[in-house]
Amino acid sequence: MTIDTEALGADLLQQVNDAAELSALEDIRIAALGKKGAITAEMKKLGGLDPEARKAAGQALNQIKDAVAKAIEARKSDLETAALDAKLAGERIDVSLPIRPEKSGRLHPISQTFDEIVAIFGEMGFAVAEGPDIEDDFHNFSALNIPANHPARQMQDTFYLKEPDETGENAVVLRTHTSPVQVRTMEAGNLPIRIIAPGRTYRSDSDITHTPMFHQVEGLVIDKKTHFGHLKGCLQEFCSAYFEVDDVPLQFRPSYFPFTEPSAEVDIGCTRKGGELTIGHGDDWLEILGCGMVHPKVLKMSGIDPDEYQGFAFGMGIERIAMLKYGIPDLRTFFEADVRWLKHYGFVPLEAASLVRGLTP
Ligand code: DAH
């Protein structure tokens, strides 16, 4: 009995190369190399041959086995590549196609206002800092010179996640303002400091002019010779850039905050002629933010030597300045997630706010 190994090999290789699909290729592999496959069957016949012929046929069969296995691997890789190419071609998206207007989203005015604030202060050399929404008593209150039982704690309707203990401290709260980011930044100790901290803030308050969650941006500058004049210049620059009105009139009114001394509230000039509010020159004033020179006690509690360093801080409500700039009449609509509102007041994404290109698209 002889085995026609050449014909067998040629036939199997032909089958492998003709396989059009991965599943067909797998069938061929089993039929050739599997336990009951053609090559295995031929191997079994070797025992009936005389030693010389067995050796020759054995070697030939092994060669065929290797060649077929190799051919299957190569074919498999070709078929896989072809399958992937076909899948990618089928899923191809033409990114150069214009957006279908009915499908395009809008940037929320809060996001737009964040971007504008960051662009303006970024240009002035401020970095953006962040802190946690869930704050401890120390950072939200005590380190800002608002000790336990201080009336200012009652001024802010705090959401407590953990009530204060018998000392009146050690509570865990949803931060009531972005001022704790001042403390965290000063504690980190990389002086001088020039940061803004935009973010969410929370107070248990809900009516036409208050929502339980709202947004603020905090500013903090600490250096050796920073003074109130710098604070004024900085806010003047910001307001002119943000409201896009040259030399917008600002009025600094003495005020009180526990963490600043002296403290001021800032009003911006406006007119209300004809029932419409216009920001800029005019006969009326509108309060937009609180600010002051950082209290020496606050510096000290955050590990900064008040004899060597001083600086200013400010904080403002983002919804408020967004409403003023974009003529949005009702605060609560910011959080109603009404798509029609967003279509009307929202902004085109990808047209990033920049002082060079213009803040507003
Ligand atoms: N944290 C104050 C608030 O929420 C706002 C504020 C006032 C922040 C004066 C400041 C500041 O940094 O200097 O009412």
Q: H helices within 93-225, ranges in order? A: 109-123, 137-140, 151-155, 180-188
Mean pLDDT of the chain: 91
Domain ranges, ordered by start, for the chain:
5-90, 109-345
Q: How high is the pLDDT of residue 141?
A: 94
C-alpha–C-alpha distance, residues 44 and 60, integer Å: 14
Confidence label for 353 from pLDDT (cuts 50, 70 and 90): confident
Instruction: Tell me what percent of the residues of the chain surpass a pLDDT of 70.
Output: 98
Tokens of 91: 């899923």
- Beta carbons within 10 angstroms of residue 216's beta carbon: 23
Where is average pLDDT lowest: 16-30, 42-56, 229-243?
A: 42-56
Whether the predicted model's global pTM rises above the 0.75 cut:
no
Ligand 1 center to 290 CA (angstroms) = 5
Q: For the segment 178-215, what is each residue's pLDDT rounded down to a tens digit?
A: 999 999 999 999 999 999 999 999 999 999 899 999 99
DSSP assignment letter at 195:
E
Residue 1 pLDDT exceeds 50: no
58-82 burial, b at 16+ Cβ within 10 Å, e below that, comes to: bebbeebbeebeebbeebbeebeee
Q: How high is the pLDDT of residue 26?
A: 93
Which of 204, 211, 209 lies closest to 175 in space, CA to CA?
204
Residue with the smallest CA separation from ligand 1 atom 3 is 177
- 173 close to 152: Cβ distance less than 8 angstroms: no
Ligand 1 atom with the smallest distance to the CA of 179 is: 1
C-alpha–C-alpha distance, residues 104 and 342, integer Å: 11
List all residues 6 or more positions away from 256 whose beta carbon is below 8 Å from its beta carbon.
263
Ligand 1 center to 215 CA (angstroms) = 12
Q: For the segment 58-115, what is each residue's pLDDT rounded down to a tens digit?
A: 898 999 999 999 999 999 999 999 999 999 999 998 888 887 777 778 999 999 999 9
Q: How high is the pLDDT of residue 354?
A: 78
Where is average pLDDT lowest: 106-115, 160-169, 290-299?
A: 160-169
CA dihedral 241, 245, 251, 255 (to 10 degrees): -40
Ligand 1 center to 33 CA (angstroms) = 79
**Residues lining ligand 1, Cβ inside 6 A:** 177, 179, 218, 257, 260, 290-292, 313-315
Ligand 1 center to 264 CA (angstroms) = 10
Residue 36 pLDDT exceeds 80: yes
- Record: fold of 109-345: BirA Bifunctional Protein; domain 2 (3.30.930)
Q: How high is the pLDDT of residue 8?
A: 86
Neighbouring-strand partners of residue 254: 264
